[in-house]
Amino acid sequence: MLMHPIQQMIEIKVNFFSYFKDLTGCEATRIDLEEGATLEQAMEMVREKFPKLESMKRSTLVAVGLEYVATDHVLSEGEEISLFPPVQGG
Amino acid sequence: MKRSIELTKDPIDEGLMVSSRTLSHQMGAVVYFSGIVREGEQGRKIDAIVYEAFEEMAVHQFKLIFDEVEQKWPIESIRLIHRIGHVPVNESSLWVEVTSPHRQEAFQACEWLIVEMKKRVPIWKHPQFVGD
């Protein structure tokens, strides 16, 4: 009998700011991803869960922890993603 | 380089900031900028802006910008205050001061810092429209 390795899953918290909270109806959510998943895969999952974010795809800023990172960043258990519209300080 | 960053719900006391300034004897320029809430946003009249921040990341991103300022110009100190929460029209939402030996680098650093802030520091405006 062939044995398939059990795919480990990680849980990632996703935070929303500014009017993304209105588009999603929440301040944060949690998603389950396969270990080794990238930020881009996480964002696709978030957009599937909250389709109203799709229209903001091109202007969405995304951070992992406190840093802006490339979308090929491989996520680790315990990391938090934040999604938000263009910033407007000043 | 000396640096201070403050996100606050309280009004910015510009007089206190000026009177508390300390300078070494090599400094020849102090530039400070105060950003004021205007009564118009998106072609409509407002009475205030509510500023929202991802505070921990905002402070971190300001620190990264300050690091870059330090690499680019011979700046002795930067002090920055950004309001969060409700800021009425005519009040300062941002106060930033740069000190340096000569005026050119102080002006350039202050302007550059604000431009970079508007690209990367996670703070957002929620205009409070009159009549809404």
Report if residue A1 sits inside a domain. Answer: no
Of residues A19, A66, A89, nearest to B56 (C-beta)? A66
What's the number of domains chain A is made of? 1
Pairing of strands B92-100, B29-36: antiparallel
**Is B60–A66 a contact, with Cβ atoms under 8 angstroms apart?**
yes
In the block, which residue shows the tokens 């588009």? A23
* pLDDT of B132: 83
Cβ pairs A/B, distance under 8 A = 55
Query: Is residue A25 assigned to a domain?
Result: yes
Distance between CA atoms of residues B90 and B73, nearest Å:
32
CATH number at residue A52: 3.10.20.30
Per the CB < 8 Å rule, is B124 touching A18?
yes
Q: Is B109 exposed, middle or buried (0-12, 13-18, 19+ CB in 10 A)?
A: buried
A14-62 pLDDT, tens per residue? 999 999 999 999 999 999 999 999 999 999 999 999 999 999 999 999 9
Reported confidence tier of residue B82, pLDDT bands at 50, 70, 90? very high
Q: Does residue A5 lie in a domain region?
A: no
CATH architecture assignment, domain B2-19+26-129:
Alpha-Beta Complex (3.90)
